[in-house]
Structure 1
Amino acid sequence: MQSRPAARTGGLTGAKVGTFLARQGILIAFVLFMVGFTVANERFLEPDNILGVIRSSAILGVMALGVTFVVISGNLDLSVGSLMSFSTIVVLDLHDKLGPALAIPAMFAMTLAIGAVIGFLVGYLRLNSLIVTLGMLSAIHGLTLTYSGGQNMDIADKEGTWFSVFGQGEALGIPVPILIFAALAALLGIVLAKTPFGRKVYAVGGNGTAATFSGIRRARVVFSCYLVSAFCVATAGLIQASRSMGSQNTVGQGMELEVLAAVILGGASLMGGSGTIFKTVIGVLILGFIQNGLLLIGLEFYVQYVVTWIIIILAVWLDVAAKRGRLLSPIA
């Protein structure tokens, strides 16, 4: 009679351990990566290296902030890489034609217009977000090549413009891209966690049908999430253009995979309804430090693609495991 409570307690303890590992396993893995990279190369934790990693991760991070809204609402956005290329090329081209004061708002307007098209197709026409954004990935890439005539873009007078401040400037010793990333993360974090719109995003992603019956306009919420994503992509394009003062027309190609990896690493569920801006920032930093560590220990840059794939698989597995309360399927 006394063995049953003990067995039950042991079962509960095992379940708790499994749930803890499922929810916090990626952070444990990150700590192990950090320790390993520090042992392998003492430069890893130097202040200059840390600041450099955060700065180089700012563009990816800004894009991930917007995609967080889309993923929490229960959708995907695979067009952000191509859209970032488009934004970068447009603002560089218009800089010499209109000047930076007009080029920047014009680029934001054009990027938001494309985001509105995607939001309309997914939100109001209820088309599958994976199919729509995958198709838009190619369409926007073609639009970028058409706009640029297949040519790369460069600013003619790189010394006589204030445009470089967004990507190269500093304030109080902190690079401007980091300040933009931090400010946007704080603003969107408040919007998502403290406003009625943020609660609607969680409701739509958690149970769209229930949200609709409770009076929430699902289509409008999804549409707005894609506008937020487009705004963040435009901001990332501005930073990228300002940092290099010139760009290839494929500068954002493949970044959609890294953005999605960062969002998932931060704990946002692909099933929708969960995730936070703060955790997305953590996910961006995890990805940035892992990639930096791999380079410092002497691995080639293309190894990052394999590691990114492994991280995505691991993150999705942990996400599913957290929902079922165990790391392995009961069927297995």
Structure 2
Amino acid sequence: MADTATNPVSLKAAGNFLARQGILVAFVIFMVGFALANDRFLDMDNVLGVVRSSTILGVMALGVTFVVISGNLDLSVGSMMSFSAIVVLDLHDKIGPELAIPAMFIMTMSLGALIGFLVGYLKLNSLIVTLGMLSAIHGLTLTYSGGKNIDIADKEGTWFSIFGQGTALGIPVPILIFLGLAALLSILLTKMPFGRKVYAVGGNGTAATFSGIRRARTVFACYLVSSFCVATAGLIQASRSMGSQNTVGQGMELEVLAAIILGGASLMGGSGTVFKTVIGVLILGFIQNGLLLIGLEFYVQYIVTWIIIILAVWLDIAAKRGRLWSPIA
């Protein structure tokens, strides 16, 4: 009788665990499955290659995590990354990398500040604002470059390539930038007063305002963090290829949101962590790599990614209602 009485409790506990930590369980299952399917999957060169190829997406996702936790969206990051890469490459040959890099960061973060002002202080809908900025920044990029791709003239005589192609202690520099930035932003989000304000604003903006938190300032700061990360991603992209197309970041805003959702952040705001966003980025990267290694065509990854996103959203909803299945069903 005792075992029968405890079974519902055990099942509920298991359901709650899957709802809270399902994405980590899924990550382990995918890694084990692909490792069994192909011996090369866990080869160190392959692992480093996957992580390195995921760094640009990952760096962008770190910043957007702050925006999503605050209860907003940022669909402009793809176009903004294209803009930052084009600007830093163009200015590299005109004023040198020493001045081009800070100039690019200032210009990119100015765009982030504009979005933060519109969403935070004017209280406009973040989806509408950033969707409009996606097109506006793309047009700005084309106008700036005259519709042409940009390449560095003297690729051998510059140290600029270190950000995308360099290594330190045997580890690619892009990975070190990604992990270092993730560690700093994780501390900012979990250990600093600003992080608590971000969670409060995203969880209940009205209550946060009555608690003395300046909601508009917090949202504005989140978009600054996001644009800083986008500028960093643009720097890595430009340094990796030493040239860039005007549309290099096109569509990446959806991949960024996918990684953040996979990491367990709620689009309703108030939940999410930098660590789980990193896990979400790695899941996308390793799934794409694993599917290719087992011989599936690259376009299959889009279907698999869609299934995983649906699963992640389901687990997010389940975590909020305390059960995997709807009580109505």
TM-score (norm 1): 0.96
2:171 paired with 1:184: no
Separation in 2 of the partners of 1:117 and 1:162? 32
Aligned residue type for 2:133? M
The equivalent residue for 2:89 is 92
Bigger CA drift: 235-244 or 260-269?
A: 260-269
Tell me by how many angstroms 1:6 deviates: 7.1
Q: Which residue of 1 aligns with 2:60?
A: 63
Q: Decide which of 133, 142, 165 is 2:162's aligned counterpart.
A: 165
* Whole-Å separation in 2 of the counterparts to 1:122 and 1:308: 30
Residue 155 of structure 1 pairs with residue 152 of structure 2: yes
Q: Is the contact made by 1:84 and 1:252 (CA closer than 8 Å) also made in structure 2?
A: yes
CA-to-aligned-CA distance 1:147-181 (integer Å, 9 cap, x gap)? 11111111111001110000001111111101111
Deviations 1:246-281 (A, max 9, x none): 011111111111111111111211111111111111
Q: Which residue of 2 aligns with 1:274?
A: 271
Q: Tell me how far 1:328 sits from its aligned partner.
A: 1.5
Structure 2, unaligned runs of 5 or more: none
Query: Using the alignment, how far apart are the partners of 1:301 and 1:82 within structure 2?
Result: 24
**Maintained 8 Å contact 1:261/1:311:** no
- Taking only the aligned residue pairs, the percentage that are identical comes to 84
Q: How does 1:167-316 map to 2 (within 5 A)?
A: 167-316=164-313
Kindly provide the amino acid, as one letter, of the partner of residue 250 in structure 1: T
Please give the root-mean-square deviation of Cα atoms over the aligned residues, in Å.
1.4
Match of 1:24 in 2: 21
Q: CA deviation at 1:292?
A: 0.8
Structure 1 stretches lacking a partner, 5+ long: none
TM-score of the superposed pair, with normalisation by structure 2: 0.97
Q: Distance in 2 between matches of 1:8 and 1:211?
A: 42
CA distance in 2 between counterparts of 1:298 and 1:144 reads 37
Counterparts of 1:35 and 1:195, CA distance in 2: 36
Q: Distance in 2 between matches of 1:62 and 1:36?
A: 27
Instruction: Say whether the 8 Å CA contact 1:258–1:308 is kept in structure 2.
Output: no
How far 1:7 moved relative to its partner?
A: 6.7
Tell me how far apart the structure 2 counterparts of residues 55 and 319 of structure 1 sit (CA, whole Å): 28
